[in-house]
């Protein structure tokens, strides 16, 4: 059986602090989701990701603050994610910082797709929880993206702003909080959460790294990676890549094999051994995202664009294929 997606319990501490200030319902909220306050004191204790997401959504309701996740993200510090945050802070470029963040995200939380790629000469950082059943998850998405933006501002340039920011959830009624934070165009209903960084900003050298310090931190984080729950099969690793690139970069056997540093033949063989294929995994990912957006009454033309289809007619044909498989 696949491991349960989990996250370090300590990440709930800022959230609990907010609820403590606003009401006396903190312990009741935690208990209703099977979490004890004492678990938050252990920096290495893990809790199910689904419970974390649900607690975050409910906390926003209790606090009567729809943008709670975004606001908490503005308070984020490199030390909040331990050695990964320190690695980000000593990186010479914004690109290097995001590459490390994507590489080591699973030391903090599992079953998360995070990656970096180039598009039109710019840097794209992508973040998405892999399980589409964890929905709604607006608070986690906005917290994670705002916190990442805050990392750049605290470690590189206070006045920095992205070229564009994408969210997988639909646009909230009031965007003013997000607009004030990012100061750039926002897009909603995307296939993943993303920060688009100007290529020149991404490559600019802000500092010279201390090689000895970087090596020590990388070694420590590598040890944490070894202890973290990581995908033990090739299909889960491929799913993660699909979540990162869908709608923004061609997903082909050669491109996926190159990312995994294996041959196309090996990729095909290992997927076949697990009873699947790249085509099946892309279809499953598209189907899950489309189901969420159709339920939210997103226009089909927009869904087709997000999923990387040529137009809504192609999406319609794909839906018919999905329906036949379920019959």
The mean of the pLDDT values for the chain is 89
Query: So what's the pLDDT on residue 140?
Result: 96
Ranking 37-41, 210-214, 222-226 by mean pLDDT, the lowest is 222-226
Per-residue pLDDT, 2: 44
Domains annotated on the chain, with CATH: 67-203 (no CATH), 234-326 (1.10.10.60)
**Res. 174 pLDDT band, cuts 50 70 90:** very high
Q: Estimate to the nearest angstrom the gap between the alpha carbon of 264 and the chain centroid.
A: 27
Residue 222: pLDDT over 80: no
22 against 192, higher pLDDT: 192
Residue 132 makes CB contacts below 8 A (sequence gap 6+) with 288, 289, 291, 292
Q: What percent of the chain has pLDDT over 90?
A: 53
> What confidence tens digit (pLDDT) does each residue in 116-155 have?
999 999 999 999 998 888 999 999 999 999 999 999 999 9
Selection from 45, 44, 47, 43 nearest residue 30 by Cα: 47
Residue 26: pLDDT band (50, 70, 90) is confident
Question: What per-residue confidence (pLDDT) applies to 42?
Answer: 78
> So what's the pLDDT on residue 279?
94
Between 117 and 302, where is the model more confident? 117
CB 191 within 8 A of CB 247: yes
- The percent of residues in the chain predicted with pLDDT above 70, rounded, is 95
User: Is the pLDDT assigned to residue 188 strictly greater than 50?
Assistant: yes
Please check the confidence at residue 232 and state whether its pLDDT lies above 70: no
| pTM, entire model | 0.89
Per DSSP, what are the bridge partners of residue 48? 6
- DSSP per-residue letters across 41-107: G-TT-EEEHHHHHHHHHHHHHHTT-TTHHHHHHTT--GGGGTHHHHHHHH-SSHHHHHHHHHHHGGG
Enumerate residues 6+ apart whose C-beta is below 8 A from 288: 132
Return the structure tokens found at 175: 């965007």
pLDDT-derived band at 302 (thresholds 50, 70, 90) equals: confident
**Binning pLDDT at 50, 70 and 90, where does residue 34 land?**
confident
């Amino acid at each position: 059986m696949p491991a349960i997606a989990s996250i370090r319990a300590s990440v709930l501490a800022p959230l609990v602090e907010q609820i403590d200030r606003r009401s006396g319902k903190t312990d009741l909220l935690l208990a209703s989701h099977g979490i004890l306050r004492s678990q938050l004191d252990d920096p290495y204790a893990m809790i199910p990701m689904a419970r974390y997401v649900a607690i975050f959504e409910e906390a926003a309701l209790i606090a009567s603050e729809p943008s709670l996740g975004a606001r908490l993200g503005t308070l984020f510090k490199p030390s909040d994610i331990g050695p990964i945050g320190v690695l980000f802070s000593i990186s010479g470029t914004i690109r290097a910082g995001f590459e490390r963040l994507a590489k080591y995200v699973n030391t903090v939380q599992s079953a998360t797709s995070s990656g970096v790629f180039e598009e039109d000469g710019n840097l794209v950082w992508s973040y998405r929880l892999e399980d589409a059943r964890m929905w709604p998850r607006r608070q986690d998405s906005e917290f994670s993206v705002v916190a990442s933006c805050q990392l750049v501002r605290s470690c590189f340039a206070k006045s920095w702003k992205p070229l564009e920011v994408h969210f997988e959830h639909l646009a909230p009624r009031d965007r003013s909080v997000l607009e004030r934070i990012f100061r750039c165009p926002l897009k909603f209903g995307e296939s993943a959460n993303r920060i688009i960084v100007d290529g020149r900003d991404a490559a600019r050298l802000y500092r010279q790294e201390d090689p000895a310090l970087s090596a020590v931190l990388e070694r420590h984080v590598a040890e944490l990676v070894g202890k973290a729950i990581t995908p033990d099969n090739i299909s889960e690793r491929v799913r993660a890549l699909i979540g990162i690139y869908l709608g923004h970069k061609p997903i082909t056997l050669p491109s996926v094999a190159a990312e995994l540093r294996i041959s196309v033949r090996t990729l095909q063989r290992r997927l076949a051994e697990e009873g699947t294929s790249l085509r099946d995994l892309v279809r499953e990912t598209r189907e899950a995202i489309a189901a969420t957006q159709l339920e939210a009454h997103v226009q089909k033309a927009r869904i087709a664009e997000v999923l990387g289809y040529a137009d809504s007619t192609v999406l319609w044909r794909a839906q018919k294929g999905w329906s036949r498989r379920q019959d």
